[in-house]
Structure 1
Amino acid sequence: FAEPAGFDIECGYLTVPENRSDIENGRTVRLHVAIFHSDNPDKAADPVIYLEGGPGGDALETVPLIFASRFAPFAVDRDFIMIDQRGTGYSEPSLACPEMIDLRDDTIEMELTDEEALAFSLEALDECRARLAREGVDFSAYNSAENAADVNDLRLALGYDEWNLFGISYGTRLAQTIMRDYPEGLRGVILDSAYPLEVNLFTDTPANVDRALNTLFAGCAADEACAAAYPDLETVFWDTVALLETEAAPIQVFDLQNGETFDTFFDGDGLIGIVFQGLYSNEIIPVLPQLIYEASAGEFALVETLLSAFMLNSEYISLGMQFAVQCNEEAVFTEPGSPAAAAAAYPELENFFAGLTNLSEVTLDVCQDWGVDEAPAIENEAISSSVPTLVMAGEYDPITPPAWGEQVAANLDNSVFFLYPGV
């Protein structure tokens, strides 16, 4: 990866068993690790290790994009460690699914029905799964318990008595697993956008997305300038979704890596999707009312810019790792039919969720083919811990709502919960 200036960076690999319950099979994984050494002569002895979200997010590939703004402050007085979790980024084997990127590039200029788009996605996912299976990947070994053991093995290999965890989104679930299984190596924990072990992502997400959208609409209505510029934002949004579902709009998007331009189509579910994605970013949230109003007027320049950026982001995720983890830890605790019923409670979102392969009823069908084992009940139970923990949440978070952060904090003996308004 492109190294940020001003840091003494040490990179290497840690080799661990792929499946600690079947070590005799001899398969291993190599975890890519980078240590950003602080130049402070009085730096603390306990470093911070970052746990990426996803699951399946590539940590080190994103260093050139976000390190300076997000992580550099940690290195003022501590070493900062980043790891590509098993199956992700530069770690080996990679569970990335280039088949999905190829599908996107092959079909982006086609005007597909929802059914056709879903069928193509499922076919590409199955091609990825089949390829990884031929390569010998044991999908049951790509889970948070093994992931947590990897992190603890890294601590021991580097010789730290204690360190601090900093997890975001799925990284907070991983951090909680480490708090449960390896508390002896922890000085402190930061959970940013907490994901409790005991919740169900598949059945809770429709309500979480609806809450975030309503928070956006209410936030604009409560702000004098926003309300004046974009009145009745909620009605305009849903009217535009309905209009674009009736007739998709032709737009252009750009490959930010090679400059190639694609002619494609933008429908109502696309508008829901881009606002959903935008709610992850405090830089994008302030422009969402403008985006909605411009789309209602048939103007899509801002949509095109954001979609192009989101296309780039989609290349920093290992979907095979994501499905292995979620099939291991969510699907096995999910009653068939319950994700569809949860989405049906929000009729305006139901079609949007029906087209998602990773957050819907469809996911349960996909997981039938991934060959995962039944997870221990403990993987669906809240943790308790006395490790000092800061739990943070953003008001507009569309996937890990503030209530989840409060829920996690309430189960910890030594925690502080902080809500960031407006982000």
Structure 2
Amino acid sequence: MKKWIVAIIVIWALVIAAGVTVGVVLVTGDDDEDAGDESSPGSESTSETAPGTSPPADIGTVPPGLESFYGQQVAWEACGANQCGTLEVPLDYAEPDGESIEIALEMAPATGERIGSMVVNPGGPGAPGTDVAAQADAYFAPALLERYDIVGFDPRGTGDSSPVDCVTDSELDAYVAGDPDPDNRREVRDFVETQESFWAGCEEKSGDLGSHVSTIEVARDMDVLRAVLGEEKLPYFGFSYGTRLGATYAELFPDNVGRFVLDGAVDPSLPTLEGSLSQAEGFETALRAYLENCVDDGDCFLGDTVDESLQTIDDLLAEIESEPLPTDEDRDLAIGNAFYGIVLPLYSETNWPLLDQGLQEALDGKGDTLLFLSDFYGSREGGEYVDNSLEAISVINCLDDPWSISAEEVPDYYDEFEEASPTFGRVFAWGLVGCHDTPFQTTEPEIEIDGSGADPIVVIGTTRDPATPYEEAVAMAEQLESAVLLSRDGDGHTAYNKGNACIDDAVHSYFIDGAVPADGKEC
């Protein structure tokens, strides 16, 4: 693994459409020279609820019929330096006496004077949250690791929590490699057939589970987890899609909201079309920032101007579409892999050197680095997919918002998407087909999110975030009644623990001392 990538990649991508993307890339950074000089403030009294003990009686109101779930104990067992266990929840909250499923948990215990348990979500949807606890040192600074147990969970339908299944690994390879912008009759036919096969596989392999992995149901699972952990009010840190999950929780359980940080926030009110346009524009902004940096440094290998550099990339992708590039593996770099290989490093400025390497290598006729990046983006290691995130993401997104268009309608949207993103626009337009023919439908009622009655929530946005554009963080902060907006001026996806001491200090003071940042604070 390359040295400048230190943790997990999480995608929000409609697999078969190779469309909308949201995620978290955790990398080392150096926005501020003194960013690593962190102390561990705080003198708050601690809770001593230990793994495996009964939670205190004061866990708030228990929804009727769910008493046994809220009153359960987790049988924590050692898994390396951490503790692992499972949480039982109903498959369908409308039928709590019916089938139940297990949610995989992992806890990284606090290393110092403990305040409580912080539940975390890395994004996706579809990413296994237990990875956050397993890699807690990469996600969080010592200031938080000392004071909180970091509790990750695989949301229902993902990871080891009753994962949904749709296709084989070889079929998934074909989906990722496929052309994300089909431009002739044969490619469109293949695209549609691939999508139909995907949903048929989901229905066959996942059954009733496929209708019960919505964000609302995951939020209900989080409240059961809160009670089992013994937290009267839930401390929570959500990244990217994890901000949508956190906002949903705040709407359903406002009285149970503790210290909440939502970093890389999405606009929960945006429908699929508007959200896709927002992300297309965000990735265009990120690509141009990368190219401007290349040009400003002088002697840019892609061109003397941003426009020349964009043309170089366009020409390269056209050549790869026509003839995939050879690699040292048993697979060539196909056009879909090239797209993901280019998109991945845009998540963080620290990863731009890796994009340099991949593009330079591709211009020389080899696809190894871009294929490595595509595989890493899709959690493909050692010739297999190590989680089901590429399958779960489509099922979850389409339960939350099933709106879609047919393949025949896509060209009608080209103009507005190409205006938002001349480079990526048509790919995002094809992403609108993603939920077409889905066999699943949520049983949860639609909700409007404002989080009325919740304690203060900190919403963080980064000005040139490609995956969750800054405007979406502004919108979430406006919609959540108790939210304050914290802004990072910079590139890349999410803000915390990226080398900006101003952001990190504000987050630590909030979680440890309860000091809410001033609304509109800029870093």
- Taking a change above 3 Å as real, the CA distance of residues 148 and 212 of structure 1, as seen in their structure-2 partners, is same
| Matching residue's letter, 1:33 | L
Pick the aligned partner of 1:89 from 129, 134, 159. 159
| Matched position secondary structure for 1:390 | strand
Report what 2:325 is aligned to: 251
Partner SS state of residue 275, structure 1: helix
Which of 20, 37, 49 is 2:109 aligned to?
A: 37
Q: Which residue of structure 2 lines up, in the alignment, with residue 137 of structure 1?
A: 208
Report the AA paired with residue 370 of structure 2: V
Matches within 5 A, 1:192-341: 192-218=263-289, 220-221=291-292, 225-230=296-301, 231-245=304-318, 248-252=322-326, 261-267=329-335, 270-289=337-356, 291-292=358-359, 294-296=361-363, 298=365, 300-313=367-380, 315-332=386-403, 341=412
Q: CA deviation at 1:420?
A: 4.5
Displacement after TM superposition at 1:331 (Å): 2.0
Q: Given the alignment of the two structures, is residue 416 of structure 1 paired with residue 485 of structure 2, yes or no? A: yes
Work out which of the residue numbers 409, 416, 427 in structure 2 matches 1:352.
427
Instruction: Give the structure 1 partner of residue 130 of structure 2.
Output: 60
Per-residue CA deviation, residues 312-350 of structure 1 (Å, 9 max, x unaligned), is 356434455423322222225x68798765454234535
SS in 2 for 1:174: helix
Cα drift, residue 419 of structure 1: 1.9
RMSD, matched Cα: 3.5
Letter in 2 for 1:118: F
Note the residue ranges of structure 1 that are not aligned, 5 or more in a row. 255-260
Asked if structure 1 preserves the Cα contact closer than 8 Å seen for 2:340 and 2:374, the reply is: no
Mapped partners of 2:94, 2:411: distance in 1: 35
Contact in 2 for aligned 1:253/1:305 (Cα 8 Å): no
Distance 1:384 1:8, change over 3 A: same
Post-superposition Cα deviations, 1:41-69, rounded to whole Å, max 9, x if no partner, equal: x221x3211023211112225665x4321
Tell me if the contact between 2:338 and 2:374 (Cα under 8 Å) persists in the aligned partners: no
Q: Contact conserved, 1:108 with 1:264, CA < 8 A, in 2?
A: no
- Cα displacement (A) at 1:143: 1.2
Deviations along 1:378-405, whole A, 9 cap, x unmatched? 25x4544542222223344322111111
Whether the 8 Å CA contact 2:265–2:461 is kept in 1: the answer is yes
Q: Cα deviation per residue 1:170-191 (whole Å; 9 max; x = unaligned)?
A: 1111100111111222221111
Partner residue of 1:391? 459
1:85 partner amino acid: P
Give secondary structure in 2 for the equivalent of 1:75: helix
For 1:174-224, what per-residue CA distance to the aligned partner results, in whole angstroms no more than 9, with x for missing partners? 100111111222221111111222012444324422333234324542677
2:136, 2:150 within 8 Å by CA — same for their partners in 1?
no
Q: Is the 8 A contact 1:206 1:343 kept in 2?
A: no
In structure 2, what is the Cα distance between the partners aligned to 1:340 and 1:100?
Answer: 31
Structure 1 residues 162 and 47: CA distance shift in structure 2, 3 A: same
Q: Tell me if structure 1 keeps the 8 A contact 2:460–2:486.
A: yes
Q: Which residue of 2 aligns with 1:407?
A: 475
Change in CA separation of 1:335 and 1:301 when aligned onto 2, cut-off 3 Å: closer
Q: Percent identity?
A: 20
Counterparts of 1:18-29 in structure 2, within 5 Å, are 18-24=91-97, 26-29=98-101
Contact 1:168 1:192 in 2 (8 A): yes
Offset of 1:159 from its aligned partner?
A: 1.7
Measured after TM superposition, the shift of residue 421 of structure 1 is 0.4
Higher helix share: 1
Q: Paired residue for 2:445, among 358, 372, 376? A: 376
Contact 2:348 2:491 (C-alpha < 8 Å) held by counterparts: no
Task: State the shift of 1:297 in Å.
Answer: 5.1
Give the structure-1-normalised TM-score. Answer: 0.80
Checking the alignment, whether the CA contact within 8 Å between 1:95 and 1:132 is kept in structure 2 is yes
Contact 2:240 / 2:266 at 8 angstroms: preserved in 1?
yes
Q: Secondary structure at the match of 1:13?
A: strand
- Residue number in structure 2 paired with 1:257: none
CA distance in 1, matches of 2:216, 2:178: 41
For residues 390 and 200 of structure 1, the distance between their equivalents in structure 2, rounded to whole angstroms, comes to: 23
Partner of 2:83: 10
Q: How many pairs align?
A: 396
Distance 1:6 1:34, change over 3 A: closer
Corresponding residue number in structure 2 for 1:258: none
Distance 2:456 2:187 in 1: 47
Aligned AA (2:322): A
User: 1:188 and 2:188 equivalent?
Assistant: no
Change in Cα spacing, 1:341 to 1:292, as seen in structure 2 (3 Å) is farther
Q: Secondary structure at the match of 2:160?
A: coil
Q: Say if 2:286 and 2:465, in contact at 8 Å, map to a contact too.
A: no
What is the CA distance between 1:30 and its match in structure 2? 0.5
| Post-superposition offset of 1:417 | 1.7
For 1:33-182, what aligned pairs fall within 5 Å after superposition?
A: 33-40=105-112, 42-44=113-115, 46-61=116-131, 66-71=135-140, 73=142, 74-91=144-161, 93-97=162-166, 99-105=167-173, 114-115=187-188, 118-119=191-192, 121-133=194-206, 136-182=207-253
State the secondary structure of the residue aligned to 1:324: helix
Contact 1:13 1:31 survives alignment (8 Å): yes
Contact conserved, 1:237 with 1:292, CA < 8 A, in 2?
no
Shift in CA distance, 160/90, structure 1 to aligned 2, threshold 3 Å: same
Secondary structure, in 3 states, of the residue corresponding to 1:161? Answer: coil
Alpha carbons of 1:376 and 1:235: their partners in 2 closer, same or farther (altered >3 Å)?
farther
Unmatched segments (≥5 aa) in structure 2: 1-77, 493-523
CA distance in 2, matches of 1:202, 1:127: 24
Q: Secondary structure at the match of 1:306?
A: helix
Instruction: Mark the CA change 1:339 to 1:417 in structure 2 (over 3 Å): closer, same or farther.
Output: farther
